[in-house]
Structure 1
Amino acid sequence: MSLPDTMKAMVTMGHGGLEQMVLHNDWPRPAPAAGEVLIKVAACGLNNTDVNTRSGWYSKTVTDATTGGAFEEVGEEDPTWGGNPITFPRIQGADICGQIVAVGDGVDRARIGERVITDGWLRDPDDPGNMDKTGYYGSERDGGFAEYATTLAVNAVPINSDLSDAELATFSCSYSTAEGMLTRAKVTARDTVLVPGASGGVGGALVQLAKRRGARVIALASEAKHADVAELGPNMILPRAPENLRAALGDEKITVVADVVGGPYWSNLIDILERGGRYTCSGAIAGPMVEFDLRTFYLRDLTFTGSTVIDPQVMQNLVKYIEAGEIKPALAATYPLEELREAQAAFIAKQHTGNIVVTP
């Protein structure tokens, strides 16, 4: 198969606003190194990590909610998820669905032609469980907002599904994040899980994956999106931020809060947790700075878990769930790669319910 030397790519040139994403029609096509594969990208999902990395929101100098725009000050030493600098220019995008078209040394050529989705966590092959040796696709190396992309062979996960490329590109980041959170919180069928931001990509995944575990699920979402959220199967849907959350919940006893929202409403979520309850977090799109009463934390025997780097087995499990039809995609909209700026603007404005995908 003859491959072009150049490709179309949306390249992030530095921290800042949407203008930092620049379309190139003649960007050098990458070649797979030893242990890597080359994927012809069919679709690539858009996630908060793409927005936050571009804007520099992960830096401790930023205390505002995720806006997607430029911030007055972004620390040079900690602007990424891992608290380290990022190298520009960078092709972002972690959630590829596509086909392997070439392999590097040491990779079985029989993999050429495989349909795959990507595991975004880049691990040390000799020490895969070491969180300090991890990187993220589209952050520590170029990702999928392009016609072609390379990744470690182990990170290109084969999948057999009737779902479309765009539908499959919704799973990797959002659903692995959600499954990682539920795993850290040890959610079982005995739990009732409260999910703020249930209309978002991770929120919708949390609803489905918690239900898959047999848990009872209470979703919080803006009322305009309740019909969409209802299709995911929660037991109850409440407004995004009820004035009196305890009253709105009625007799429901919340044992787990699975949160990617944070912000000024955060203390309300903690206040309604049952004694011995668990709070798990993998985001703070409404703001990272919260009011925290330590007395609530220790007097009620609560457990807090942060969740970022996931176990290597999570993506393998997700593929099994997808192939068995146990979870479904929440595809909100598809944009051509040339309109990635518009896609991110819509994503930031929460114009859609679910995940947004771009196609080369």
Structure 2
Amino acid sequence: MSEETMTAAVLRRHGGPDAVELSRVPVPRPGPGEVLVRVRAAALNNTDLWTREGAYGLPGDPDARAGWRGPMTFPRIQGADVTGTVAAVGEGVAPDVVGRRVLVDPALYDADSDDAHPVGLLGSERDGGFAGFVAVDAVRAHPVDDSPLTDAELATLPTAYGTALGMIERGGVTRGETVVVTGASGGVGLALVQLAAERGADVVAVSSAGKLDAVRSAGARAVVDRGGDLWAAVAGAAPGGVDVVLDVVAGTGVADGVGVLREGGRWVVAGALGGHRIEVDVRRLYLHNRTIVGSSMHTPAHFAALVEIARTGRVRPVVAATYPLADIARAHAELAERRHVGKLVIDEL
């Protein structure tokens, strides 16, 4: 590996698409325990938009500009979702990993255990993969040489499918349970449909008109248009009740929909597309032993399970479109428009 500089999409400040600039920057050097990955594909996520905008707020100041874990430092190379090949290793890493195809776990964890919590993210608290190369902890670069998935398909997995698998695991979803997925045409939503169906759950998906067939083909038994009386339609599609709601929308839907849960039902939330403030009659929770669970990304154990899914190809991710890095601003704009089904991927870096 002889390159000394690379092109990167660099976030200079919070703001609009013009806050991201294509720049020539030094290729990072892998430190002790790290590997340098030549990026082959890197997917976009809503976190890229919200991090750019500083839309996460702070405790006590929900309108403050901040990254998902608090104030950010700039410049920052965005891009959490990386697949590529190992180009070089740092001290303490066996050189025989050079040349291996890898899928990178983008989370920075609070401990070394299998159930550690994510407290940082590539592209937010550390430079990410919208660049020619990225340096990551060697233990987070999982070999996937034998995966039948393309580079673009692999790149869709870490954040969206990792978040989805974390929700499914924290919600205790098991074969035969009835599961409702909100926001089902988005990156995390479609991943929830695919992964829950692969697990053997009976999936009722909520999406917008024009995307219903695509969501149904991903594995949903029934698809409900989010317009109209949504929760009455859900109840009609699941007359026996719902075991788990996997929710990336939140907002008023939580209070309106909690009544569809069976006794002991679980509502898992990992997004706030519909609003971050909710009001719930807690009697509808404790009188029926229902729970609301917050879920942020995945644990190392969840990601290891996701890598196994990638290696076997049991789930085939949906790639809506690919772009060269030079079109990163257009990719941001099209992600914000939400007209697509599946994931947007940068695959020419």
The answer to whether residue 253 in structure 2 is matched with residue 254 in structure 1 is no
Q: Distance in 2 between matches of 1:209 and 1:254?
A: 17
- Matches of 2:199 and 2:302, distance apart in 1: 14
Matches for 1:66-105 after TM superposition, within 5 Å: 74-75=64-65, 79-82=66-69, 84-105=70-91
Contact 2:149-2:310 within 8 A present in 1 as well: no
- Aligned Cα root-mean-square deviation (Å): 1.8
Once residues 227 and 135 of structure 2 are traced to their aligned partners in structure 1, the CA distance between those partners, rounded to angstroms, is 42
Which amino acid is the alignment partner of residue 174 of structure 1?
Answer: A
Q: Residues 220 and 241 of structure 1 are in contact (CA less than 8 Å); yes or no, is this contact kept in structure 2?
A: no
Secondary structure at the aligned position of 1:230 is classed as helix
Q: 1:279 aligns with which of 258, 267, 277?
A: 267
1:12 aligns with 11
1:23-56 deviations in Å (ceiling 9; x for gaps): 11x2111110111111111110111111111111
User: Secondary structure of 1:207's partner?
Assistant: helix
2:344 partner letter: I
Aligned to 2:343: 355
Summarize the alignment of residues 1-360 of structure 1 with structure 2, pairs less than 5 Å apart.
2-24=1-23, 26-60=24-58, 74-75=64-65, 79-82=66-69, 84-123=70-109, 126=112, 129-131=115-117, 134-159=119-144, 160-250=146-236, 251-359=239-347, 360=349
Separation (CA, whole Å) in 2 of partners of 1:263 and 1:134: 24
Deviation at 1:295, TM superposition (A): 2.2
Q: Give 1:66's aligned residue.
A: none
Q: Compared with structure 1, are the counterparts of its residues 153 and 265 closer, same or farther at alpha carbon in structure 2 (3 Å cutoff)?
A: same
Q: Structure 1 residues 171 and 312 mapped into 2: Cα distance closer, same or farther (>3 Å)?
A: same
Structure 2 residue identity aligned to 1:17: G
Q: State the AA in 2 paired with 1:202.
A: V
Tell me if the contact between 2:114 and 2:301 (Cα under 8 Å) persists in the aligned partners: no
Once the two structures are TM-superposed, the CA of residue 80 in structure 1 deviates from its matched residue by 2.3
Amino acid at match of 1:344: H
Instruction: Report the Cα distance in structure 2 between the residues aligned to 1:308 and 1:125, rounded to whole angstroms.
Output: 16
Asked whether the equivalents of residues 242 and 248 of structure 1 are also in contact (C-alpha less than 8 Å), the reply is no
Aligned to 1:68: none
Task: Give the deviation of 1:247 after TM superposition.
Answer: 4.4
- How far does residue 123 in structure 1 lie from its aligned partner after superposition? 2.8
SS of the residue aligned with 1:223? coil
Mapped to 1, the partners of 2:307 and 2:137 lie a distance apart of 18
Letter of the structure 2 residue corresponding to residue 122 of structure 1: L
Q: Distance in 2 between matches of 1:241 and 1:265?
A: 12
Structure 2 spans left out of the alignment, 5+ residues: none
Q: For 1:268, what is the secondary structure of its paired residue?
A: helix
Q: Which moved more, 1:46-55 or 1:241-250?
A: 241-250
What's the secondary structure of 1:265's corresponding residue?
helix
Q: 1:272-317, CA deviations, whole angstroms, 9 ceiling, x for partnerless residues?
A: 2122110001111222122322222222221111111522111221
Letter in 1 for 2:55: W
| Structure 1 pair 266–237 and aligned structure 2 pair: CA distance change class (3 A) | same
Structure-1 separation of matches of 2:185 and 2:54: 24
Q: Give me the whole-angstrom Cα distance separating, in 2, the residues matched to 1:161 and 1:175.
A: 16
* Range that drifts further, 295-304 or 277-286: 295-304
TM-aligned CA deviation for residue 135 of structure 1: 2.0
Instruction: Answer whether contact 2:86 2:97 (CA < 8 A) is retained.
Output: yes
Deviation at residue 130 of structure 1 after TM alignment: 4.5
Q: Is the 8 A contact 2:175 2:200 kept in 1?
A: yes
Give the conservation status (yes or no) of the 8 Å contact 1:122–1:155. Answer: no
Whole-angstrom distance in 2 between the partners of 1:247 and 1:357:
34
SS of 1:334's equivalent in the other structure is: strand
Judged with a 3 Å threshold, the aligned counterparts in structure 2 of structure 1 residues 353 and 62 are, in CA distance, closer, same or farther, namely farther
Once the 2 structures are TM-superposed, how far is the Cα of residue 341 of structure 1 from its aligned partner? 1.4
For residues 111-154 of structure 1, the C-alpha deviation after alignment (integer angstroms, 9 at most, x for no partner) is 000001110112367566443x8321111110001111110001
Per-residue deviation at 1:325? 2.4
Distance 2:122 2:248 in 1: 20
CA pair 219-252 structure 1, distance change in 2 beyond 3 A:
farther
Q: Deviations over 1:160-181 (max 9, x none)?
A: 2232211110111111101101
